[in-house]
Amino acid sequence: MRGRTPNQYPLFDVSEAWPNGFVYQPDLITPEEEAVLLAYIHELPLKNAPFREYTAKRRVHGWWGNRTLPQWLLPITAKLAAWQGVPQNTFKNALISEYSPGTGVGWHRDAPPYEKIYGLSLAGWAQFELRPNRNATVQKGFSRTVEPRSVYIMQGESRARFQHRVVQTKTMRYSITFRT
């Protein structure tokens, strides 16, 4: 815990044990691939995202429903697919988020129609936290830094019985969230 600022202290009991189904892979993409993604992201019409009853500081742009993913995301979905041994067309839905310093996302669980959640981090770091619902098999939360070019996956219990949040970032961070 040493070295954390007060707003990074979790308000729940954390454990070193990873919640079931949570996967973290550093350096899934190269700095060159990251630079290409960021160049495209900087051209997007990002908009402030509504979160619950208020407009969040986070800015987003997404593709879902009948909107096909742009060509420039396909090398990344190919890489994720090869890494996980799943078909590339598993990745039909993507959300780009921009976190300027001091921006985070509060506790939530993504809507049930989606199955697995893949989160690719770009440009900056964030503290990513999970806390169990009452029906989880463990009652300890989890907190870890997600690094630029890393990917986390929430599936299984970590997806179904935990909420997650992004603590307010210290530096500019982007993420691409793929929901299958």
Ligand X SMILES: O=C(O)CCC(=O)C(=O)O
Q: Where do contacts with ligand X occur on this chain (CB under 6 A)? A: 95, 97, 105, 110, 119, 164, 166, 175, 177
Residue with the CB atom nearest ligand X in the bound state: 175
Beta bridge partners of 41: none
How many of the other CB atoms lie within 10 Å of CB of 159? 22
CB of 15 to ligand X, least distance (A): 21
CB of 70 to ligand X, least distance (A): 18
Residue 166 contacts by C-beta under 8 Å, 6 or more apart in sequence? 99, 104, 105, 126, 127, 128, 129, 175
When the beta carbons of 84 and 175 are compared against ligand X, the nearer one is: 175
CB of 60 to ligand X, least distance (A): 8
When the beta carbons of 87 and 123 are compared against ligand X, the nearer one is: 123
When the beta carbons of 129 and 157 are compared against ligand X, the nearer one is: 129
CB of 28 to ligand X, least distance (A): 14
What is the rounded (10 degree) CA torsion for 54, 45, 130, 169? -90
Residues 69, 40: Cα–Cα separation, whole Å: 13
Residues 137, 134: Cα–Cα separation, whole Å: 9
When the beta carbons of 50 and 75 are compared against ligand X, the nearer one is: 50
